Structure 1
Amino acid sequence: MKAAAFYLRYQVFVLEQKIQPSLEFDEKSKENHNYLVVLNQNKPIATIRFDVYTNHTISLDRFCVKKTARKQGIGSALLKTFEKKAVELGYKYSLLSAEKQAIPFYQKNGYQVVSEEYLEYGIFCVQMKKTLKI
């Protein structure tokens, strides 16, 4: 699954958003992190990477959906799958860094802005958090 996630991340973040590969594939990419990947005909169309933030909070990042698969509910479905897994693992909160243009998507999925705007890899972002429900 990690290879499928890396392939999709390269397509979305490096080729589409022009993020430098050395920034996209960070130190966490070398570690053993958790990935969820949605496949369509054995090809990745959506992915999330996640890791422990604190004892009660799980952090997700590198969340992306293939351009041709957007606006079809795939991202929301993957996010819900991630949140269900997080609750099963005992987490109470989900935390993420959202690109400014993605704020409405996350708000629609129950996340709230919890920081001021900041630059991450040349893209304006905010930190967002959600209380997970059982």
Structure 2
Amino acid sequence: MHTHFGCERWHQAAAFALRYDVFVLEQGISLQDEFDELDTLERNYFVVYEQSLAVATIRYQKKNDDTVQPDRFCVRKEHRNQGIGRTLLLLLEDKATKEGFKFSILSAEKTALSFYQALDYSVNSEEYLEDGIICVEMIKKLSS
């Protein structure tokens, strides 16, 4: 497996295909909700590939000058519980830290709370519905 970071069209297409499989087909999120105005030509993604198959992805975006906002984070069903998601999120946090970000804030599905808590994220909001799924905002102070 190897990881690529960038905004090349082929790379974005791989991230989108995986997001379609996980979020639209598996979780029932509408196409219009999943693919939003933040999916621009210059938006960077991390994607983990097994040969040419995208097995995990996360969208890299800045929330503000101090905060990165990992988003659209998913792992292909048959590749879950192998540490791929953990490795990918830590890779994103490392890049964010090197770029001067102090915090990471994300929207976590309630079913994934323990995953994020194990990576030192803390709940930072009440529960809310996002695309029909119960979520909470979580925050982590990035180490410098």
Q: Provide the TM-score with structure 1 as the length reference.
A: 0.97
Mark the runs of 5 or more structure 1 residues left unpaired by the alignment. Answer: none
Mark the runs of 5 or more structure 2 residues left unpaired by the alignment. Answer: 1-10
**1:13-62 C-alpha deviation (Å, 9 max, x unpaired):** 00000100111001111352120000012210000002111110011110
Q: 2:95 aligns with which of 77, 80, 85?
A: 85
Separation in 2, partners of 1:97, 1:32: 22
Match of 1:41 in 2: 51
Matched, 1:122 2:142: no
Separation in 1, partners of 2:20, 2:117: 26
Identity %: 53
Separation in 2, partners of 1:62, 1:7: 12
> How many pairs align?
134
User: 1:4 corresponds to which letter in structure 2?
Assistant: A
**1:52-82 C-alpha deviation (Å, 9 max, x unpaired):** 1111001111000000000000000001100
Q: What SS does the aligned partner of 1:29 have?
A: coil
Match of 2:116 in 1: 106
Q: Provide the TM-score with structure 2 as the length reference.
A: 0.91
Separation in 2, partners of 1:34, 1:93: 18
